[in-house]
Amino acid sequence: MLALSSLSTRALRTGGWKMSFLRTFGNVLCRQTSFVRSARPIVSVKSLSSDTATQQQGQQSASNGTLHAKFPGALEASFVTSPKLSLPESIEPIPIYRVMNSEGMIDDPSQEPNLDQTTVKKMFRDMVLLNTMDKILYESQRQGRISFYMTNFGEEASHIGSAAALSPEDWVYGQYREAGVLVWRGFTISDFINQCYGNAEDLGKGRQMPVHYGSRKLNFVTISSPLGTQIPQAAGAAYAFKLQPNNQRCVITYFGEGAASEGDTHAAFNFAATLDCPVIFFCRNNGFAISTPSKEQYRGDGIAGRAAGYGMAALRFDGTDVFATYNATKLAREYVLRENKPIILEAMAYRIGHHSTSDDSTAYRPAEELEVWNTVEHPITKLKHYMLQRGWFDENEENEFVKSIRKQVLSQINQSERILKPDWRELFQDVYAEMPTHLKEQMRSMEEHVAQHREHYPLKDFKQ
């Protein structure tokens, strides 16, 4: 023990007592403490990157006793003696995987998924159903019957092909142009139209604008309007799945190449890569982010080209080829579950329709360009050619199918328009398990307001 009594009483009484205390304390400590150094050979270090790296990861060469260090931030990198720029032009672009060409011919027989006629027919009809419904609901908006709509023209194969390769138990985080995934999983025509009309039968209780679908039963998380928010959410859900014993579920999140410019996408990629999350990042690169073409959206090799920088696997494929999409998604699902790691899939396609009913794409792209993608390169046309070659396609039967879908959609629109809107009090519900006091007070205040000004509100259109 060090005794303070050994300090100079005079020093404590003067203005310099602090310095006297420190000097005295230091002298006493040095006298009472002995330092023992272990004997160790002195090693001649010829090449050091950092002292810390040397202590933690340095390895002694058997031949000359030299320690070689590895930077913690680049463990696989080697040293060179002259500077060399890594230029994007020197990196080979990721190729586009394709199974079926525009004539419906299989390029490599080993890549044919060998799906049975029933499955292929469902793929075709689900794409036709989506295409037919899109045309009618788009016109419905133009007639002022709904406020907004977004079509899926040209991207039907990326929806149906990917959905077919997933398990129904896998979670889906969509953006706003993946309605085909819901079609495949069993979302009905009435489910779609009731949501667009925001009536009391809408699963979302009329709280969202049109095309913002969701289904707890089908493991499809409700779509959010802000761009890119679903991507980090998907990474988090996948991480939660990984922590569960004997997990057999993965997560897939869809987004466009425009959304890939959002900061949320970077955060999601980095979290998923560093936390080893079983998530499929499915980018629909359709060439346009509203009116911004992909050539102005990024300078690198698309979205799949970013994967290596995050330490992720990647695969680019023809998104107008339903079989390439199916094979790619099936391979990706097997990979993320086996390795507990994420992957980026990039479906190359072309957005044939306008971005939404708020957009006029004729202002920024030529009609001649659209014609190619809307005919010979259309995903439905390709699959039709494939089915014709196998004797699986009957023109009259499919024409009747289109007529029946049109009839169902028009009939449902007529019904959905007549269904009352949800009780406006729903606005205050479903956020908390039990409504807190401040929300109860707000609802009571709103009820009083509505009661006093009933003539200003279309209450007859709402459930009471």
Spell out where 141-274 has E strands.
Answer: 171-173, 220-221, 251-256
- Extract the tokens encoding 296: 């102005």
Instruction: Name the amino acid, one letter, at 128.
Output: V
Angstrom distance (rounded) from CA 327 to CA 322: 9
For residue 165, give Cα distances in angstroms to 250, 251, 416. 12, 13, 32
- Could you tell me the sign of the dihedral formed by the alpha carbons of 260, 266, 267, 268, in that order? positive
Reduce the DSSP state of residue 164 to 3 states and report it: helix
Beta-ladder partners of 253:
173, 281
User: Which amino acid is residue 163, in one-letter code?
Assistant: A
Q: Is 441 exposed, middle or buried (0-12, 13-18, 19+ CB in 10 A)?
A: exposed
Beta pairing, strands 288-289 & 251-256: unpaired
Which pair of structure tokens corresponds to residue 220?
A: 């499809």
**422-437 core/surface letters (b: 16 or more CB in 10 A; e: else):** bebeebbeeeeeeeee
DSSP 250-302: -EEEEEETTGGGSHHHHHHHHHHHHTT--EEEEEEE-SEETTEEHHHH-SSST
Token pair, residue 357, equals: 């009913």
Residue 366 DSSP code: -
Give the C-alpha separation, 267 to 310, whole Å: 11
Which residues have C-beta within 8 Å of that of residue 387, sequence separation ≥ 6?
A: 104, 120, 121, 124, 393
Determine the Cα–Cα distance for residues 317 and 175; give it in Å rounded to an integer. Answer: 20
Is 355 one of the annotated active-site residues of the chain? yes
Annotation says 225 is catalytic: yes
Query: How many angstroms separate the CA atoms of 47 and 69, rounded?
Result: 8
DSSP 436: -
Catalytic residue chosen out of the listed positions 159, 354, 355, 378: 355
Q: Among candidates 134, 105, 100, 136, which has minimal Cα distance to 352?
A: 134
CB atoms within 10 A of CB 276: 16
Active site residue 215: no
Our CA angle for 273, 278, 280, nearest 5°, is 85
Compute the distance between CA of residue 378 and CA of residue 102 in angstroms, rounded to an integer: 8
Catalytic residue among 6, 147, 225, 358: 225
Catalytic one of 6, 103, 139, 339: 139
Longest dimension (CA), the chain: 113
Q: Which one is catalytic: 190, 291, 356, 361?
A: 356
In the residue annotation, 50 being an active-site residue is answered as no
Q: Which two tokens stand for residue 105?
A: 């011919």
Residues marked active site are found at 139, 225, 355-356
